Amino acid sequence: MSQRPPALAALAAAALALAVAGCGADTGPRATTATTPAAAPAQTTGPGQDETPVVKTPATLQGPLAFHVQRRTQLRRTPGGKVVATIPTKTEFKSPTILDVAGRRAGWIRVRTSVSHHAVGWIPASSGAIFTQPHSIVIDLSRRTLTLFHRGKPTNTYKVAIGTAATPTPIGRFAITDRLRVPPGTDYGCCILALTAHQPKIAQGWGGGDRVAIHATTGVWAIGKRVSHGCVRATNKTLHELMRRVRLGTPVTIHA
């Protein structure tokens, strides 16, 4: 990827992607890319594998859980407590709002969101439906690998590029908020999996946002290296495979 790729914030303005801390800071060869027409929109996709979430009764739910927000609701610091944000039924990129579940109490669901400074909060269980996630992702920063799990068992491991020492990929548990297909000619390859994660260490002079994503790259030389502003990069082949398999709300754990 080039040293100055278009920020995802700019891509979003052109209906291409989202504002992330993304994904620049390359120190290797400059990739040659075509100019992307502003009119060519990114395509958002649904939960993954063309699957409609199968909603079950809470007593039968096992494994990673997700919550489909079906009515606009308020995110609260504690059950019934202070309101910290409003959660719409669609993301800013028109995907269904499907959140990773972090906990449950009677009548309330604790969820992970992309709300800055309020990544985890509580919403009423009556505002949507809970369901199980078949997949999860674990990113190992020391090995620079991304492993896809299906029902708790690893199925595929891929080499990835990660953030630099100055702008490291954040550690923690996050989730996929949007699945975007990007038109040819950008530095983001075929596809973007937007995460709830934010980059707390914005590089001086960086003009993009602070959201973090897993995305493809035209600079395959970078795979296995520390080169980004915090995003995780993989090959187009890897992203095509992930786009076919993972749903919105899929949990993503990033560890050192």
User: How many domains are there within the chain?
Assistant: 2
Report which of residues 3 and 77 the model is more confident about: 77
Is residue 53 a part of any domain in this protein? no
Task: Summarize pLDDT for 177-196 with one digit per residue, the tens.
Answer: 999 999 887 888 999 999 99
Is residue 229 a part of any domain in this protein? yes
Domain that holds residue 94: 58-132
Catalytic residues: 215, 231
- Domain end position, chosen among 132, 149, 166: 132
pLDDT at 117: 78
Is residue 2 a part of any domain in this protein? no
Mean pLDDT rounded to a whole number for the chain: 82
Task: Summarize pLDDT for 77-123 with one digit per residue, the tens.
Answer: 999 999 999 999 999 889 999 999 999 999 999 999 999 878 899 99
**The pLDDT of residue 5 is above 80:** no
Do 71 and 190 sit in the same domain of this protein?
Answer: no
Distance between CA atoms of residues 65 and 125, nearest Å: 13
pTM, rounded to two decimals: 0.82
Do 40 and 152 sit in the same domain of this protein?
Answer: yes
CA distances from 140 to 149, 158, 192, 241, 256 (A): 13, 10, 19, 19, 6
- Domain of residue 38, CATH code: 2.40.440.10
Task: Summarize pLDDT for 137-148 with one digit per residue, the tens.
Answer: 999 999 999 999
Do 29 and 151 sit in the same domain of this protein?
Answer: yes
Do 106 and 183 sit in the same domain of this protein?
Answer: no
pLDDT grade for 1, boundaries at 50, 70 and 90: very low
Structure tokens at 227: 């080169």
- Domain of residue 97, CATH code: 2.30.30.40
**The pLDDT of residue 60 is above 70:** no
Distance between CA atoms of residues 20 and 7, nearest Å: 7
Report which of residues 235 and 116 the model is more confident about: 235
**The pLDDT of residue 210 is above 60:** yes
Closest CA to 137 of 116, 120, 160, 118: 160
Do 27 and 123 sit in the same domain of this protein?
Answer: no
Distance between CA atoms of residues 157 and 22, nearest Å: 22
Three-state SS at 236:
helix
Is residue 51 a part of any domain in this protein? no
Cβ(2)–Cβ(187) below 8 Å: yes
